[in-house]
Structures are given as structure tokens and as C-alpha cells.
Structure 1
Amino acid sequence: MDLYLKRFWEEGSGNQLVEWSGAQISLDNANVFTLLAKEYDVQGDEAVQEIFKDRNFGEAYAYVTQLSKTIISENDDLPENIKSMFLTMQQKPAWVDDELIQMGCNLCMRSGTNALISLRDYSLMSGYDYAYLNKALIYTGALKKGPAKRITDTLDFWIHVTRNNALEINALGYQYIARTRMMHSFSRLMIKEKYADWDHEKWGEPINFGDMVATNIGFSLFYLHGLHKLGMHISEKEELGVFHLWKYVGHLLGIPEKHLPNNKKEATELFYLWTDGQVSADEDSVMLAQALENEAFASNIFKKAYQKNFLKYLHSCYVRFLIDEETCNRLHISKIRMYYLFPRFRKFRNQILQKIIGMSGKNYKRAVTMGDIFQTKISQEYLKADS
């Protein structure tokens, strides 16, 4: 394992994950991710080749959107691979527990702005420390498109797949997943066709199953751990619900469900195995991290310089609070005196508020409703600014 990533697990945020989750980390099954790095969504790729036949990108996107709004049957006059992919997505596995998924959605909503901080400043920023994981982003032009675009798209996706009933067939979340699956396959095929310098030996296949599992864990394990660090009280059902929600999202995206975790212990152990095949931050990682840290300047949400400066400062404080110092330094995150003041105030506020209000009955439902409103409003502001 990379020396810096080894220290991450022994002394940094990884050690905190192990303590919090009760995981028993070992490299005994490290070959699992060696194999998954060579595997990818073949069904999605075959469907996308038919989707883009005689269609430009805009037409293909509209076509997939229309298909995702429609119940597909065996008798439909569709190309076989497209039909096969959508018929598979429409087959709800027997293991899916709708009540558990709703509990996961409830937490995603009631965590309000805490969720967005955890996802942006912990999960997303942490991901930039894994050099090989980021290569697909670089090759598909993440730096050129800018951080505001990725924040907008990720937040828009997350909002729509974490609402109640969003994953029902033809619901909005399901539609977003179908389009995202198309984008994954389109990007993979484009990289393989246009870039002969893609290093299959080091990086595996573009957007391979191993990296997709790690990204899925970012939306579940890291999201939950971030909320924990910010003082959020999370019930056992909510916690298991988040993992169940993302297991089903992963399934709809084409990831074999046997590789997706059911709880924080499994997720931490899986993530440890995955990091054994990674190396820590390189120049591309630093550029991505710096772009995200300076996202406030690229975004049009705030117009005035002092607003942009303060927003950058605030996010840098949360990054420093949520991610261990060595990782932050590798990613060249700004060094800030007393960075912990705002995060600690938020943590204290969360703890007090939950004790005073309580998290049951009407108060719980109100927290879910208000969190949904706040998150949706912020997402709409990003979409408006990006348009």
C-alpha cells in the first residue's frame, strides 16, 4: 500500500473510520479489487452504442430521458441491448426494502445543510486524494468544465435520488440514474476510443466497477461519517437505510450488488481493500482539489468579492475539520488559523438542537420537510447560476 495511504489508515481519517465503524481491516482479499478494476458495465456500454447510433449527444440524452419515463416491455420495438438494459433496471430485486430506503431518504433530507457540507468538504474532497480514481475525471475534462459544473451536477443528482419514492420505476430519481449510467458508458467508450495513453495496467478500465464501488461508498460511508463529525445524531435504521438506498442506486447503475456494502463495517473494510490499489495525490489531484477549494470564485451564486472570499474560507475550514491534516496538506488546502471555530459551533448547535427538539413524531417530520426545502433551494440556486 502507498506509504501516505498507509498512514491515512494508521493515523488519519481512515483510523477514525475504523474506530467509528468497528471494522477489522485486512488485505487478505485485496485481489477482489484487482479483478474489479478490469470489470465494468458491459450491458450499459452495449446499450449506449445503440443509443448513439445516428444520434448526436443532445438527441441521445433526450432519447434516454424518454425511455426512462416509459415502462419497457419485451414486445417493444427497441434495439435489443437498450431493451435488455431497461428491462433489467425495471426488475426490482427481492432484497430491496422500501421502508429502509425511506429511512435513508429521511436522513438525507433532515440532515439539511450538514449533508451538503459532508458531501462537498469531506466525501468529494477526500476522493481527490486517490490519484488513479481521478484519471477518468481528467480525461473527460473535469478541469476544463470547472468545479461549479461538477458541484451542480452532483448536487442535482444527489437531491433527486434521495427523495421519497425517487427510485420507483420511471420516477425522477430513476430517470437521473438512467442518464447517469448512459454518461458513464459514453465516457468510458470515448476514453477507450480517443486516448491511447490510458494506462490500463495502473488505472484499470475507465470507470471500472472497483472505482464505482468506492464512489458509492463516498455517498454512504463518508457522508455518514461526516455527519457524525458534525454532531448529527443518526439512528440505526437511518444509517442502515442510507447504505440500503445506495446499494439500490448502485444496482441501478449496473454495479453487481454483491460488491456493495450493507453497513459501515462492511463499507470501511471494502474501502480499505480498494485503497491498496491506489496511490495518493499527484499533480492532477492537487489541481482538482484546488479547483474545488476555489469553487466560490468560479460560481455565479454570489456576486460580491467578500461573499466569495468568505464562502471559500468557510469551506476550507470544514475541509480542515473533516479531513486529516496530512491529506489536506497533500491536496494543498489553505492553512487557516483556528479553522475549527465554525465547524465546532455547527457541531455544538446540532447537538443542542437535537436534544431540545428531539427527533421523533412531528418534530422529526418537520426536520425532514425543512431539510428538503433548504437542500432543494440550494440546488436550484446552483442550477440557476450554471445556466
Structure 2
Amino acid sequence: MHNTSSFAHYWREGIGVTLLAKLGKALDLEQAEQHIPLFYQADREGDQLVTDVHLKFGFAAGNRMLADYLGNRGLSQHVRLIFDDFFAKIDVNPTWLDWDLLQVGQELCQRPGLTSLIVLRDYCLMGGYESAAINKPLVYTGALKKGAVKRLTDTVEFWVNITKPGNLGFRENGFQEIILTRFIHSFSRIKILEKTEWETEKWGVPLNTWDMLATHLGFTQVFLVGLRKMGINPTAREVAGLFHFWKYVGYLLGIPLSLLPTNEAEAIEQLYYWTMTQRDGDEDSRNLAHALQEEPVHAFYPKTALMRKMMREIHLFYNHYLLGDFSCEVLGLAKTTVGRLAMANVWRNRRQERAIQSEQDRVQFVKKGAAEQEHVRQIYQQYNKST
């Protein structure tokens, strides 16, 4: 299963070389063998609740019941007991959780504003398409046919809701968003196994624990690498906060606590083992990449066709700038010339970082960045209704 294409290139000739140097020790790929069982493991508790609720009452009805439960609204005693049993297995305020540090991580996600969303879209999301197996659930659930606009809308909505400080308390919107996402994963897994010709021996179970950890690494280590490439220089406390924040999110999503990295060194090691045991990208990978490449052209924002084409070129520039030409060629992404204008954003980020001289400065940039992300969320919500 050792990857011989873009992921291997990442560690041998790409930015992974720098990450391994930072790690300061050699990694033995044979150690990845211990993770093989994770390909066949998934979220049993989430699957059981979805079986007991969503499969009996319908997916939409099950999600409304979750909202009613968290909102302390009327539910039948039978359904309430099912949710009681599920949440009894989750410690929503574990002893290891530091809410102040978690908020620092949320604020790091907000502070870069549009740059955070660029990194998520053009580096984390697009780069993830380089693995054939992890993206198969998108194909088997019809997400490819629904289009990239819908997936980006959902991702931005999730991001804005969970990164808002104070929004992860039990019954808050961010907390509900995470649990809802967990149930979506379970529902998708159950339906894929039930309704399709899923090849478990080749891809593991759908949305398995190993791939869930990879998604977690995308929001932490890969995101962090992307921010730095874009001119953002998080402090040591911000980095610690980022991993703490996502440790709690990953825990709520049903990822075993023992797997979740608590610092950058652990994350680099996990990322190496996951990427280097992935199958190369395939035609589905290239189709997903193409759909994301063309998303700006098919969107309803900006309003003019010319500006939408320009947006496509800008994102293509960031794809090449962040992923590198080798990965972009593997994914079949077009090259761009006019998109190079987007480099101005990287220069702006560098100037902004130099302008942060105090805690007050940092707070102001957090507020500004959060407002930018909320504006993008509203745009996606508006034009997604028209697609």
C-alpha cells in the first residue's frame, strides 16, 4: 500500500523534508503497520444511534430530534433515552480540557480571515483528493454529482460555527454542528455498506477511524503548514491552542482520544504514516479535483462571468503555490498566469504579522478575520440556495 506518487514526493522532495527535519528523528514506515486495524474500525456509538433513530424515523427527522434534545424540547421518552445513552458516553467537560487554550486555537483559525478559508479549500481539501481511498465515500454518496459548491458551503458553515469562541459548550450551535457531522458520517457509512458495492478489502470501511484521523490532521498539521506558507506565523501558544481545540473536536466526532495528536511533532509523525500508506489517486480523485477547480465558474458569486473566471485562476494559483506543481499535475489541475496576482495576499499577510506587536493587536485581527469568514459564510449560503 506504500504510496509511490505525490505523497512520497511530498516527503522526499517537497515541504515534508522540512517537517521531518523539524521532527528530528527518523521514521520507520513499518511502524504504520500498527494502524492497519483502524482501516476496519469506525464509530460504533454513532452508528448505533443512527440505527436506532435516523434509520427508523428518517434522516431529517433524526437531525431534528438531535436539535430538540440539545434544546430541551419535547421528545418521546423512548427517543430521549436513546440520546441519553449516547451522550452518557461523552464527557463534555473532560479533566484534560483547557477552555482558555481551546479558545486560543479557535482564534488562530479566525485571525487569518480569508486566508484560513483559502488554505482549507486550496491546500487541505484539494490535497486530500490525492488519496483514492479516503475520497470514495464522496463518490458513493453522490457528493461528486451534487457539486463542489454544496461541499464548500457545508465546510464553511461547519468551520464558522465551531471556531466561534463560546460555541462549543453543551447545547451550543458549534457543539450541535459537530455531533450532527458525526451522525452524517455514521448514516453515510451504513448506507454505503447497505446499498453499494463498496470494496472493504481495498478501501477499509467507509469513513473509517484511520481516515477520520487524516481529516483531523488536515485541520491541524496541514492547515498549519498552509498558514505559514501564506505568510501567517502563529505563536507557540497559538499552535498549542490549535491542537487542543481540534483534539476536543476530534474527540466529539468519535475519534479515539489515544490517536489524537497533542502537538506538532505527534501530528507530523501521524501524517507521515497515513500519507505513505495511501493508494495513489485515481480517476475519481481527478474528477473531484476538477469539480473543485471549476466551482468558481459555476457559482453565483461573483456576479459576472469574467470575475468568476478570475476567481478560478486565483484559486488555481493557490493550488500550485501550496501543493506544488507535482501534486497539481497528478490531480490534473490547470496552470495559470493571471492568478499570480493573488501573491499580493501573501505579501499583505506578512505585513500584518509584523504589525502584531501586542495582545490588543492580536485581538483586533481576530475580530477582523472572524468578520471576513462570516461574510464568506453568508455568501455561500445565499448562492447555494440558487444552485
> Are the structure 2 counterparts of residues 152 and 325 from structure 1 closer, same or farther at C-alpha, using a change threshold of 3 Å?
same
Distance 1:146 1:115 in 2: 22
Question: Is 1:333 the equivalent of 2:333?
Answer: yes
Q: Comparing 30-39 with 211-220, which one deviates more in the overlay?
A: 30-39
Quote the residue 2:133 is aligned against: 132
Task: Kindly state the Cα deviation for residue 85 of structure 1 after the two structures are TM-superposed.
Answer: 1.7
- Residues 303-382 of structure 1: pairs in structure 2 closer than 5 A: 303-337=303-337, 340-343=340-343, 345-355=344-354, 357-382=355-380
Q: Comparing 233-242 with 361-370, which one deviates more in the overlay?
A: 361-370
Quote the residue 1:278 is aligned against: 278
Aligned residue pairs: how many?
A: 382
Task: Kindly state the Cα deviation for residue 23 of structure 1 after the two structures are TM-superposed.
Answer: 6.4
8 Å contact kept, 1:22–1:265: no
Distance 2:160 2:19 in 1: 25
Distance 1:54 1:99 in 2: 40
Quote the residue 2:33 is aligned against: 31
Aligned to 1:248, what secondary structure does the other structure show? helix
Aligned to 2:232, what secondary structure does the other structure show? coil
Task: Kindly state the Cα deviation for residue 330 of structure 1 after the two structures are TM-superposed.
Answer: 0.5
Quote the residue 2:301 is aligned against: 301
Deviation per residue, 1:149-189 (Å, 9 max, x gap): 00000110011111102211111110101111110000000
Quote the residue 1:231 is aligned against: 231
Question: Is 1:243 the equivalent of 2:243?
Answer: yes
Question: Is 1:221 the equivalent of 2:234?
Answer: no
Deviation per residue, 1:11-63 (Å, 9 max, x gap): 12433443456564331321232111111000000001111254122212211
**Which amino acid letter does the alignment assign opposite residue 51 of structure 1?**
V
Quote the residue 2:59 is aligned against: 57
> Are the structure 2 counterparts of residues 173 and 359 from structure 1 closer, same or farther at C-alpha, using a change threshold of 3 Å?
farther
Quote the residue 1:263 is aligned against: 263
Distance 1:223 1:257 in 2: 20
- How much is the aligned-residue C-alpha RMSD, in angstroms? 2.0
> Are the structure 2 counterparts of residues 265 and 92 from structure 1 closer, same or farther at C-alpha, using a change threshold of 3 Å?
same
> Are the structure 2 counterparts of residues 364 and 234 from structure 1 closer, same or farther at C-alpha, using a change threshold of 3 Å?
same
Task: Kindly state the Cα deviation for residue 298 of structure 1 after the two structures are TM-superposed.
Answer: 2.2
Quote the residue 1:386 is aligned against: 384
Percent of pairs with identical residues = 36
Task: Kindly state the Cα deviation for residue 260 of structure 1 after the two structures are TM-superposed.
Answer: 0.8
Task: Kindly state the Cα deviation for residue 326 of structure 1 after the two structures are TM-superposed.
Answer: 1.1
Distance 1:337 1:58 in 2: 45
Question: Is 1:191 the equivalent of 2:189?
Answer: no
**Residue ranges of structure 1 left out of the alignment (5+ in a row):** none
**Which amino acid letter does the alignment assign opposite residue 36 of structure 1?**
L
8 Å contact kept, 1:69–1:175: no
Aligned to 1:9, what secondary structure does the other structure show? helix
Task: Kindly state the Cα deviation for residue 339 of structure 1 after the two structures are TM-superposed.
Answer: 5.6
Relative to the length of structure 1, the TM-score reads 0.94
**Which amino acid letter does the alignment assign opposite residue 167 of structure 2?**
A
Distance 1:30 1:84 in 2: 34
Relative to the length of structure 2, the TM-score reads 0.94
Deviation per residue, 1:271-326 (Å, 9 max, x gap): 11112331121000000001001111222122211011000000000010000211
Q: Comparing 157-166 with 203-212, which one deviates more in the overlay?
A: 157-166
Quote the residue 2:174 is aligned against: 173
Question: Is 1:150 the equivalent of 2:148?
Answer: no
8 Å contact kept, 2:294–2:312: yes
Task: Kindly state the Cα deviation for residue 384 of structure 1 after the two structures are TM-superposed.
Answer: 1.1
Quote the residue 1:97 is aligned against: 98
Distance 1:81 1:243 in 2: 31
Quote the residue 2:109 is aligned against: 108
> Are the structure 2 counterparts of residues 268 and 38 from structure 1 closer, same or farther at C-alpha, using a change threshold of 3 Å?
same
